[in-house]
Amino acid sequence: QVQLQESGPGLVKPSQTLSLTCTVSGGSISSGSYYWSWIRQPAGKGLEWIGRIYTSGSTNYNPSLKSRVTISVDTSKNQFSLKLSSVTAADTAVYYCAREKYYYDSSGYYKMTFDYWGQGTLVTVSS
């Protein structure tokens, strides 16, 4: 059974960089047809996709955050990480890591789901 676990500081000061790591257990981060994503959720609000990485190192980011986001992967540790720079109070949220499972159907169309999620970690931006 695949499990994902977020770790990192729960409190970050404004203008600093938020850094989180997601450790994957129960399977290799390098195997299979998967992207590895970060998603966040401000208190009482909806879900926002931040970005994803493939184990080759290829990344995609949400344009709304692209200038501040870096996602990286360490296959030797079975981990991937998120860095979000120049944070403000608006970045306060629960941050989830998630596995994006993808495949191509019989017609060659790309299909995906977020099939495994971490439990989430609350990051508060405050001085």
Partner 1 sequence: DIQMTQSPSSLSASVGDRVTITCQASQDISNYLNWYQQKPGKAPKLLIYDASNLETGVPSRFSGSGSGTDFTFTISSLQPEDIATYYCQQYDNLPQTFGQGTKVEIK
Q: Does 119 bind partner 1 (CB under 8 A)?
A: yes
* Contacts of 13 by beta carbon, 8 Å cutoff, 6+ apart: 125, 126, 127
CB of 23 to partner 1, least distance (A): 15
CB of 78 to partner 1, least distance (A): 19
Q: Min. distance of Cβ 127 from partner 1 in angstroms?
A: 27
What number of H helices and E strands is found in the chain? 0, 11
> Among residue numbers 38 through 67, which ones bind partner 1 (CB under 8 A)?
45-49, 60, 62-64
Q: Which range of residues in 15-23, 24-32, 78-86, 113-121 is near partner 1 by CB under 8 A?
A: 113-121
Q: In the chain, what is the greatest distance between 2 CA atoms, to the nearest angstrom?
A: 53
Cβ-based nearer residue to partner 1, 54 or 75: 54
108 belongs to the binding site for partner 1 (CB under 8 A): no
Bridge-based pairing of strands 18-25 and 79-84 is antiparallel
Q: How far apart are the first and last CA of the chain?
A: 39
Give the C-alpha separation, 17 to 21, whole Å. Answer: 13
Considering only CA atoms, which of 52, 68, 50 is closest in space to residue 60? Answer: 52
Contact range with partner 1 by CB under 8 A, out of 7-15, 26-34, 81-89, 109-117: 109-117
124 binds partner 1 (CB under 8 A): no
Q: Which residues bind partner 1 (CB under 8 A)?
A: 45-49, 60, 62-64, 96, 98, 109, 111-115, 117-120
